[in-house]
A = this chain, B = another copy of it.
Amino acid sequence: MCHGVIHRLLPGATIIDTTHAVEPYNVLQAAVILADATPYLPIGVHVAIVDPGVGTDRRAVAIACENENVYVGPDNGVLMLAANRDIVVSAFELPVPKEAGLGPTFAGRDVFAPVAARLATGVPPRRLGRSLEASTLAKLSVPVPTAEAGGLRVVVLSSDSFGTLQLGCTRNELLAIGTSERVQVSTAHGQGAATIARTFADVGCGELLVYEDSFQHLAVAVREGSAAALLGASAGDIVSLDPL
């Protein structure tokens, strides 16, 4: 329906659906995907809507960046990982319509899509909202690994349709604990020995691997299987990585 709203205001608009696979309410996952995806997308207007606070007094914002990307969405942190990488130059609070039936539960249709369409037609952001201080924009704290008993405790950022777990950790952080070829991976619900690999086919079918994913996050997968199922893990859970 957001596509429809945009095409009514800007017929023939080019619209790219970056993903519809964000887990419900996982603002951090959406923020990470947006930041990771934007370098591969054309410069343009980027709308991100994972918005558990829709209809409350959380602000609706547009954030203009040095490279001419503009980010549009709720001010709950979903935009700022991406926007900060692009260097924020100005930010605006968007008006939220108060008419009956508008806005309280579908801001994508009633607030963000119309603003995105107008920005894409060339209307400058300052014409669409009231200037606000960029330092007041909500930011998420991105989990970092913590060292414990020679190993690492890291957070699962997300789980995809293959059951691959993306971790809040880099390959270098893993290597720094003295691992080289194998690592023990444990959660509250399961565990296994994983090979530190470059790609899936470096291990046998059904075997665990830990690898650097295509966005330079560390990830845990089972080749042609599901690490989420094997480890009983999902977004927000803690995974322990211990040298073997």
Q: List 12 A-B contacts (CB under 8 A).
A: A7-B41, A8-B40, A53-B201, A55-B199, A55-B202, A56-B199, A56-B201, A104-B198, A105-B199, A105-B213, A106-B213, A106-B214
Measured CB to CB, the residues of A under 8 A from B are 1, 3-5, 7-8, 11-12, 14, 16-18, 24-25, 37, 40-42, 52-56, 101, 104-106, 109-110, 161-162, 198-202, 211-214, 216, 223-224
**Complex CA–CA separation, A224 to B27 (angstroms):** 12
Most buried by B among A16, A105, A198, A223: A105
Asked if B42 and A16 sit within 8 Å, CB to CB, the answer is no
Closest beta carbon of chain B to A159's beta carbon, Å: 14
Say whether chain A's binding surface is mostly helix, strand, loop, or mixed: loop
Closest beta carbon of chain B to A120's beta carbon, Å: 13
Asked if A7 and B16 sit within 8 Å, CB to CB, the answer is yes
**Knowing A101-B212, A109-B214 touch, does A199 contact B54 (C-beta < 8 A)?**
yes
**Knowing A1-B40, A214-B109 touch, does A52 contact B201 (C-beta < 8 A)?**
yes
Q: Can you tell how many copies of this chain the complex includes?
A: 3
Asked if B105 and A40 sit within 8 Å, CB to CB, the answer is no
Q: Whose C-beta in chain B lies nearest to the C-beta of A21?
A: B20
Asked if B11 and A110 sit within 8 Å, CB to CB, the answer is no
Q: Whose C-beta in chain B lies nearest to the C-beta of A212?
A: B101
**Complex CA–CA separation, A224 to B54 (angstroms):** 12
Pick from B1, B18, B56, B101: contact of A37, CB below 8 A: B1
